[in-house]
Amino acid sequence: MTLTADITPVLDTIDADLPQALERLMALLRIPSISTDPAYKADCARAADWLVAELTDLGFTASTRATPGHPMVVARHEAPGKHILFYGHYDVQPVDPLSLWDRDPFDPEIQETPKGKVIRARGASDDKGQLMTFLEACRAYKAVTGSLPGNLTIFLEGEEESGSPSLVPFMQENAPELSADLALICDTGLFADKQPAIVTMLRGLLGEEITLKGPNKDLHSGMYGGAAINPIRVLSRIIAGLHDDSGRITVPGFYDGVEELSEDMRAQWQALAFDHAHFLGEVGLSVPAGEQDRTPLEMIWSRPTCEVNGIWGGYTGDGFKTVLPSEAHAKISFRLVPGQNPDAIREAFRAQITAQLPADCSVSFHGHGASRAGQMSVTDPAFEAARGALSEEWGLPAAFVGCGGSIPIAGHFKTVLNMDAMLIGFGKDDDQIHSPNEKYDVESFHKGIRSWARVLNRIAG
Within 8 A by CB and 6+ apart from 235, the residues are 210, 212, 311, 313, 328, 329, 330
pLDDT at 316: 93
Quick: pLDDT tens for 186-213.
999 999 899 999 999 999 999 999 999 9
95 torsion bin: left (phi>0), alpha (psi -120 to 50), beta (else): alpha
Longest C-alpha distance within the chain, in Å? 85
Quick: pLDDT tens for 115-158.
999 999 999 999 999 999 999 999 999 999 999 999 999 999 99
- End residue of a domain, out of 347, 371, 395: 371
CATH of the domain at 215: 3.30.70.360
Quick: pLDDT tens for 16-63.
999 999 999 999 999 999 999 999 999 999 999 999 999 999 999 999
Q: Are residues 102 and 69 in the same domain?
A: yes
Q: Are 421 and 179 in contact (CB under 8 A)?
A: no
Comparison of pLDDT for 262 and 362, the residue scoring more: 362
Q: Are residues 34 and 171 in the same domain?
A: yes
Q: Are residues 160 and 73 in the same domain?
A: yes
Q: Are residues 85 and 133 in the same domain?
A: yes
What's the half-sphere exposure (Cβ side, CA atoms, 13 Å) at 61?
Answer: 6
Quick: pLDDT tens for 276-290.
999 999 889 999 999
Is 2 a domain residue?
no
Q: What is the pTM for the complete model shown?
A: 0.86
Is 395 a domain residue?
yes
Q: Percent of the chain, pLDDT > 70?
A: 99
Quick: pLDDT tens for 326-357.
999 999 999 999 999 999 999 999 999 999 99
pLDDT band, residue 1 (cuts 50/70/90): very low
Q: Are residues 360 and 416 in the same domain?
A: no
pLDDT (mean) for 383-393: 97
pLDDT at 405: 80
- End residue of a domain, out of 322, 345, 371: 371
pLDDT at 374: 86
Quick: pLDDT tens for 50-65.
999 999 999 999 999 9
Is 334 a domain residue?
yes
Is 146 a domain residue?
yes
**Does an H or E element contain 310, and which?**
strand 305-313
pLDDT band, residue 221 (cuts 50/70/90): very high
Q: Are 224 and 427 in contact (CB under 8 A)?
A: no
Provide the residue range defining the domain that includes 327: 204-258+304-371
Q: What residue type is 285 in one-letter code? A: L
Q: Are residues 352 and 418 in the same domain?
A: no
Q: Are residues 160 and 23 in the same domain?
A: yes
Q: Are 89 and 161 in contact (CB under 8 A)?
A: yes
pLDDT at 371: 86
Q: Are residues 47 and 91 in the same domain?
A: yes
pLDDT at 369: 85
In the three-class reduction of DSSP (H, G, I as helix; E, B as strand; rest coil), residue 73 is classed as strand
* pLDDT surpassing 50 at residue 236: yes
Within 8 A by CB and 6+ apart from 390, the residues are 196, 197, 198, 398, 424, 451, 454, 455
Q: Rounded to an integer, what distance in angstroms lies between the CA atom of residue 201 and that of residue 451?
A: 21
Is 409 a domain residue?
yes
Within 8 A by CB and 6+ apart from 222, the residues are 322
CATH of the domain at 36: 3.40.630.10
Return the closest-CA partner of residue 445 out of 139, 174, 179, 136. Answer: 136
Quick: pLDDT tens for 408-432.
899 899 989 999 999 999 999 899 9
Q: What is the mean pLDDT of the chain?
A: 95
Q: Are residues 186 and 218 in the same domain?
A: no
Q: Are 48 and 155 in contact (CB under 8 A)?
A: no
How far is the first Cα of the chain from the last one, in angstroms, to the nearest whole number? 8
- End residue of a domain, out of 352, 371, 390: 371
Q: Are residues 85 and 147 in the same domain?
A: yes
Q: Are residues 187 and 213 in the same domain?
A: no
Is 286 a domain residue?
no
Is 329 a domain residue?
yes
Q: Are residues 250 and 331 in the same domain?
A: yes
Is 93 a domain residue?
yes
pLDDT at 407: 83
Q: How many domains does the chain have?
A: 2
